[in-house]
């Protein structure tokens, strides 16, 4: 549980692309790619923030730990998402690849330089930070005030919006990850999913139970109360 496999986490330059940070014709920002194996750490909490990342494919969890091992996952980052964006010099989360994950990356310092002169890039930085803040605010409401069933329903609807393809969502993360995202135990998550399955609100396909079809979004949304 507490063993940390230390691998070479030094990114190697690979290609150039768009981090959503270019402003019009200004694509000065050079990018490289790197692939992390399932379960490996991308960066650790309090490490100096050298890079900013964008998920090309795969999934990333970022979390905080208490000293006794309790874990709170603050966010999952899926294809297209940017993470590791810090204002101060150090990361405030640990980030790990949930599955094999390829990321694009850019030196933080370089990005700051560009932001200094380019108002569009600067505004994009603010806009992304605000998005993160908005997600965190909604998640506080979930963590503090929703029941286990409401939490799981909210999670499914969030993931449905972010990774559903052809009516089926293939969750990359385990029940334990979901539990640590929702402030629950994995058994509680499992029980909630079973209840939603019994109620014919969702269906499982595939061999493990990570591929889910939402049969009745309307009824699911009723569990996740509106504000």
| Euclidean distance between CA atoms 202 and 213, whole angstroms | 6
In whole angstroms, how close is the CB of 79 to DNA at the nearest point? 20
In whole angstroms, how close is the CB of 68 to a copy of itself at the nearest point? 7
In whole angstroms, how close is the CB of 219 to a copy of itself at the nearest point? 16
Residue 126 sits in the site that holds a copy of itself (CB under 8 A): yes
Measured in Å, how far apart are the chain's first and last C-alpha atoms?
38
Residue 174 sits in the site that holds a copy of itself (CB under 8 A): no
61 to 80, contacts with a copy of itself by CB under 8 A?
64-68, 70-72, 74
For residue 217, the partner it binds in DNA, a copy of itself, none, with Cβ less than 5 to 8 A by kind, is none
Residue 94 sits in the site that holds DNA (CB under 7 A): no
162 to 201, contacts with DNA by CB under 7 A?
174-176, 183-191, 193-194
β-bridge mates for residue 36, sequence order:
101
86 to 115, contacts with a copy of itself by CB under 8 A?
86-88, 92-93
b/e map 155-179, b = 16+ CB within 10 Å: bbbbbbeebeeeeebebbbebebbb
Residue 72 sits in the site that holds DNA (CB under 7 A): no
Residues contacting residue 217 through CB under 8 Å, at least 6 positions apart = 157, 160
Q: Which is nearer to DNA, 2 or 117 (CB)?
A: 2
| Euclidean distance between CA atoms 58 and 51, whole angstroms | 18
| Euclidean distance between CA atoms 170 and 205, whole angstroms | 9
| Euclidean distance between CA atoms 104 and 19, whole angstroms | 7
| Euclidean distance between CA atoms 172 and 100, whole angstroms | 10
Binding site for a copy of itself (CB under 8 A): 45, 64-68, 70-72, 74, 86-88, 92-93, 116, 119, 122-123, 125-127, 129-130, 132-134, 136-141, 143-146, 180, 182-183, 225-227
């Amino acid at each position: 549980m507490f063993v940390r496999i230390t691998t070479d986490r030094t990114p190697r330059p690979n290609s150039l692309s768009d981090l959503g940070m270019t402003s019009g014709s200004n694509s000065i920002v050079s990018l490289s790619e790197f692939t992390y194996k399932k379960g490996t750490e991308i960066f650790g909490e309090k490490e100096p923030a050298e890079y900013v990342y964008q998920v090309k494919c795969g999934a990333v969890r970022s979390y905080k730990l208490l000293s006794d091992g309790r874990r709170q996952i603050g966010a999952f980052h899926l294809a297209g998402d940017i993470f590791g964006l810090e204002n101060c010099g150090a990361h405030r989360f640990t980030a790990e690849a949930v599955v094999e994950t390829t990321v694009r990356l850019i030196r933080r310092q370089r990005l700051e330089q560009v932001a200094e002169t380019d108002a569009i890039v600067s505004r994009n930085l603010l806009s992304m930070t605000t998005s993160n803040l908005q997600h965190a605010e909604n998640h506080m409401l979930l963590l503090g005030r929703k029941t286990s069933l409401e939490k799981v329903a909210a999670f499914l609807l969030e993931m449905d919006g972010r990774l559903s393809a052809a009516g089926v969502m293939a969750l990359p993360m385990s029940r334990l990850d979901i539990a640590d995202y929702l402030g629950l135990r994995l058994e509680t998550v499992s029980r909630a999913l079973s209840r939603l399955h019994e109620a014919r609100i969702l269906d499982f396909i595939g061999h493990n139970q990570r591929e889910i079809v939402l049969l009745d979004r309307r009824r699911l949304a009723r569990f996740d109360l509106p504000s």
